[in-house]
A and B are shown apart, each in its own frame.
Chain A
Amino acid sequence: MTNYRIGIDVGGTHTDAVILDEFYNVISVVKSPTTEDVSTGIYAAMKDVVASAGVPVEKIKFAMLGTTHCTNAIVERKRLNNVAVIRIGAPATLAIKPLVGVPEDLKAILGKHVYIVRGGHEFDGREIVELDEQHVYEIANEMKGKVDSVAITSVFSPVVNSHETRVAEIVAEVLGDDVALSLSNEIGSVGLIERENATILNAAIVNVARSTADGFVQALQKEGIHAKVFFGQNDGTLMSVEYTVKYPILTIACGPTNSLRGASYLTKQSDAIVVDVGGTTTDVGVLIGSFPRQSSLAVEIGGVRTNFRMPDITAIGLGGGTIIRIADDGSFQIGPDSVGHLLHKKSLIFGGDTLTTTDVAVALGKVELGDSSLVNHLDNALLEKIYSHMIEMVEETVDKMKTSSDPVPVILVGGGSILFPAELKGASVVIKPNNSGVANAIGSAISQVSGQIERIFSMNELGREKTLELAKEMARQEAIHAGADPNELVIVDFEDVPLAYLPGDATKIRAKSAGPLAKN
């Protein structure tokens, strides 16, 4: 029996939706405007794509959503939870209080209930001091009725998480099960401040994630669709609703990831550079083994430093709606501003008054779109110059993302990709797949399920080989727990970094395993 899946991806300008069959064949695609509240756009895209697919709704078994709800909530500082911050670390850590370095407006919202209690562990798993449970009870009673989400962070919890779990038990005992608990060892890696920040942000967007997930499930049900719902995360893999509501922070930056993964799927390329041309910007990323290359820098979300790993993306101000200004002396400037989603009103070919990159491509006969007679009067020689410059901008960015001068496959996706030619300098081949305009929604639909661990191991205990195998097995178990098919798991990311100055060959290992959804 054939079954189907819906993939939806929310972008800055468009919300895209696709329906695929179980063999990932594209059945229908829809592009609709992203709305202010995001949800309305998602529901509209979902309805349209279901209507145009003409498949029996009861056969839609999975629905994958990549959304910007959580990112927007942090950036706009809206709809955030009433958060309490508990750090387990005294007498250590007092020299830097929680939320130091966080922008003041966000600190004012998230810093109303901040506590530091005695406890935490050393790097090798010893207790620094015993956990002060009495103090935790006092804190829990004090915040009762005032908070609905608690961020709990303990020193070296990526090594030993027992103090975090004990504090979580006490908080749940006093405040009841309705209060959301975010435990840092489940969210971030070694680096107290960054992990604590990520945990606090996670705690702050639990309600947003819950209402987004509930809204999406209800919208599907209204259409008669009883699918299993998943959310996309940063690393190109999926989370169940249950997981998303617990770890909403992991949905940040799923957009660029989805477009990279979709491009990989559509072209069957595992190692390539992906150029995603939108309305306002072009995002360039790198596929390694079908997954996005990760950035090595600490990332800021809404001005808050965290230690997430994000896809390594370079964005330039060049898209389909980018405005071109020509001076009297014939010199020109490309962008960086854009008419964005008003392309169909403002650009020349649609009867508007603004010269855009799309107008240039149409006037030169590179693309057929709108009314080309409206751009006939433009100076062709000048347009050629502008067009070559646009291509150079893309070529230069591609080159910067490469790791050698060897030509690599370049995949062009996104609504604006029609502007660009089938040849680019530095590219072994330029691929423009079918349905490239909705690569991100496809990326969302085909995502795999993953599990990841990151912690410090002492290589002396088991020896290197066995330790590495143990770490991989732990990652595999995480993936199976998240819903992956145990028979098709692969290790997609593995890194071991020896820790300076520590004996016993203390090594930080990160392992990630991913695989397709289990069938049942």
Chain B
Amino acid sequence: MRFIGKEEIENIAIGAALLGTGGGGDPYIGKLMALQAVEDYGPIRLLSIDEVPDDALIVPSAMMGAPTVMVEKIPNGEEAVAAFKAMKEYLGKEIFATMPIEAGGVNSLLPLALAARLGLPVIDADGMGRAFPELQMVTFYLDGVSATPMVLSDEKGNNLLLNTINNMWAERIARTATIEMGGSVMLSIYPMDGKTVKRSAIHHILTLEEKIGRTIREAKERNEDPIEEVLKLTNGHRLFKGKVTDINRKTEEGFAKGTATIEGVEDYKEDECFLHFQNEHLLAETKDKVLCSTPDLITVLDSDTGMPITTEGLKYGARCVVIGMPANPKWRTPKGIEVAGPRYFGYDLDFTPLEDLVNKEWN
């Protein structure tokens, strides 16, 4: 067990933006919420997964909806508490700890704000190791854990308890309800016992984010390039460097889809990288080869500061480095690829692990 204070929150926020792979919502709001909660209620206890009893009840916390709504209609702070209380009453059991289901983006920090308010510990684990857009895209689902019972709560005081026949239905109903409730709600979701968390979660993810954030901040202070260090921490690879020359966006089925064209500089001169995104960056390719594809992680970093750039922040003229990072092995199973591989998102290609794509290039 160790304590998470303001310094750690600042670092986690940067790591969360990086693992957010361009989506997951700007962690800025989550960071401010966590900072204020720590100021009002004191530091947060972070538990390593082996400190969790097998029979303890763990309830992850997350927001659902449009991050663009959340940056305008900031939460009250009590929504997540209400969602927890309703879950506790329904299950008739004390909740031992909370955790993020999504380490990438804003959802990494919201459980920290909740934990501070309730005085509950947070477990150093999540269900994605990155950001994904849909409720069933979590490692818990790959192991057959149900997303429900789940509770949606809004700032007006509305609570909605869902019990669905499967996770796809949970996603459908919750998404429709979210819009009616004002476009952004807090969830308590995927209630699990400690044993299940140990088996199905991605471990040490908050610590990794903290390390990534600290590396980038320290490098910035020393005026050094943080990207090499980040690649070491994440076993990642540098995929491309260039300037964004074109952005093509459209909205389909509620997702911000599009392609960015990046024109190469330095080692990548004369080449172009096409970056396809649907809230998150999902596929990076050049004219003749695939560089990286989902579920592996693709992140775009500002080439001067090393800070992550979101898909919404990708603008004409942005100078950037594209990096790829291997997804957790749970995502590289047939089921993982079925749930969050390139074909699920409508890209006509089979998943090839990042390392193989990189090695192919050398041969």
The residues of B that contact A507 with a CB separation of less than 8 Å are 251
B74–A92 touching, CB < 8 Å: yes
Distance, CA A96 to CA B77, complexed state (A): 8
Which of A169-198 touch B at CB < 8 Å? 190-193
A500–B29 touching, CB < 8 Å: no
B69 at the interface (CB under 8 A from A): yes
A122–B73 touching, CB < 8 Å: yes
The residues of A that contact B162 with a CB separation of less than 8 Å are none
Distance, CA A231 to CA B178, complexed state (A): 45
A96–B256 touching, CB < 8 Å: no
A123–B317 touching, CB < 8 Å: no
Distance, CA A100 to CA B39, complexed state (A): 11
B243–A91 touching, CB < 8 Å: no
The residues of B that contact A505 with a CB separation of less than 8 Å are 251
The residues of B that contact A156 with a CB separation of less than 8 Å are 72-73
A192–B179 touching, CB < 8 Å: no
B68 at the interface (CB under 8 A from A): yes
A95–B36 touching, CB < 8 Å: yes
A404 at the interface (CB under 8 A from B): yes
Pick from B66, B67, B76: contact of A93, CB below 8 A. Answer: B76
B156 at the interface (CB under 8 A from A): yes
B182–A501 touching, CB < 8 Å: no
The residues of A that contact B113 with a CB separation of less than 8 Å are 95
CB contact under 8 A between A96 and B179, given known A404-B263, A507-B251: no
The residues of A that contact B249 with a CB separation of less than 8 Å are 497-498
> Which one of B85-93, B95-103, B308-316, B343-351 is at the interface?
B308-316
B159 at the interface (CB under 8 A from A): no
| Bitwise interface map of A from 376 to 420 toward B, beta carbon under 8 Å scored 1, else 0 | 000000000000000000000000111111000000000000000
| Bitwise interface map of B from 264 to 291 toward A, beta carbon under 8 Å scored 1, else 0 | 0000010000000001000000000000
Distance (whole angstroms) from the CB of A245 to the closest CB of chain B: 28
Which of A105-124 touch B at CB < 8 Å? 120, 122-124
Distance, CA A502 to CA B72, complexed state (A): 14
Distance, CA A286 to CA B243, complexed state (A): 14
Give the number of residues in A that approach B within 8 Å (Cβ atoms): 46
Distance, CA A507 to CA B156, complexed state (A): 25
The residues of B that contact A91 with a CB separation of less than 8 Å are 76, 78, 155-157
A53 at the interface (CB under 8 A from B): no
B18 at the interface (CB under 8 A from A): no
The residues of A that contact B226 with a CB separation of less than 8 Å are none
A296–B77 touching, CB < 8 Å: no
The residues of A that contact B135 with a CB separation of less than 8 Å are none
Pick from B23, B29, B66, B157: contact of A96, CB below 8 A. Answer: B29
B33–A155 touching, CB < 8 Å: no
B234 at the interface (CB under 8 A from A): no
A303 at the interface (CB under 8 A from B): no
B75–A95 touching, CB < 8 Å: yes
Please, which residue of chain A has its CB at the minimum distance from the CB of B39? A100
A79 at the interface (CB under 8 A from B): no
| Bitwise interface map of B from 18 to 61 toward A, beta carbon under 8 Å scored 1, else 0 | 00000100001100110111000000000000000000000000
| Bitwise interface map of A from 86 to 104 toward B, beta carbon under 8 Å scored 1, else 0 | 0001111111110011000
A497–B312 touching, CB < 8 Å: yes
A128 at the interface (CB under 8 A from B): yes
The residues of B that contact A100 with a CB separation of less than 8 Å are 32, 35-36
Distance, CA A251 to CA B66, complexed state (A): 32
Most chain B beta-carbon contacts within 10 A, residue among A123, A190, A401: A123
The residues of A that contact B156 with a CB separation of less than 8 Å are 91, 128-129
Pick from A123, A192, A404, A497: contact of B245, CB below 8 A. Answer: A404
The residues of A that contact B74 with a CB separation of less than 8 Å are 89, 92-96, 155, 192-193
Pick from A123, A312, A498: contact of B250, CB below 8 A. Answer: A498
The residues of A that contact B250 with a CB separation of less than 8 Å are 498
CB contact under 8 A between A191 and B73, given known A92-B155, A503-B254: no
Most chain B beta-carbon contacts within 10 A, residue among A91, A193, A507: A91
Most chain A beta-carbon contacts within 10 A, residue among B69, B113, B279: B69
Distance (whole angstroms) from the CB of A283 to the closest CB of chain B: 16
B71–A190 touching, CB < 8 Å: yes
Pick from B68, B155, B175, B313: contact of A500, CB below 8 A. Answer: B68
CB contact under 8 A between A128 and B73, given known A95-B113, A404-B263, A501-B65: yes
A94–B251 touching, CB < 8 Å: no
Pick from B28, B37, B175, B243: contact of A95, CB below 8 A. Answer: B37
Distance (whole angstroms) from the CB of B223 to the closest CB of chain A: 12
Distance, CA A96 to CA B155, complexed state (A): 13
The residues of B that contact A403 with a CB separation of less than 8 Å are 243, 245, 263, 316-317
B318 at the interface (CB under 8 A from A): yes
Distance (whole angstroms) from the CB of A501 to the closest CB of chain B: 4
Most chain B beta-carbon contacts within 10 A, residue among A155, A401, A498: A498
B3 at the interface (CB under 8 A from A): no
B319 at the interface (CB under 8 A from A): yes
A400–B71 touching, CB < 8 Å: no
Distance, CA A405 to CA B269, complexed state (A): 9
Distance (whole angstroms) from the CB of B72 to the closest CB of chain A: 5
The residues of A that contact B178 with a CB separation of less than 8 Å are 501
Distance (whole angstroms) from the CB of A380 to the closest CB of chain B: 33
Distance, CA A478 to CA B225, complexed state (A): 45
B318–A123 touching, CB < 8 Å: no
The residues of B that contact A126 with a CB separation of less than 8 Å are 182
B183–A122 touching, CB < 8 Å: yes
Distance, CA A192 to CA B67, complexed state (A): 12
Most chain B beta-carbon contacts within 10 A, residue among A95, A129, A286, A297: A95
B155–A128 touching, CB < 8 Å: yes
A155–B72 touching, CB < 8 Å: yes
Can you give 10 A-B contacts (C-beta < 8 A)? A91-B156, A92-B155, A97-B36, A122-B183, A128-B73, A156-B73, A192-B72, A500-B279, A505-B251, A506-B251
Lowest 5 A-B CB distances belong to which pairs?
Answer: A498-B251, A95-B77, A296-B315, A501-B66, A92-B155
Q: Other than the known A120-B73, A123-B183, what 7 A-B pairs have Cβ atoms closer than 8 Å?
A: A89-B73, A96-B36, A155-B74, A192-B72, A296-B318, A403-B316, A500-B256
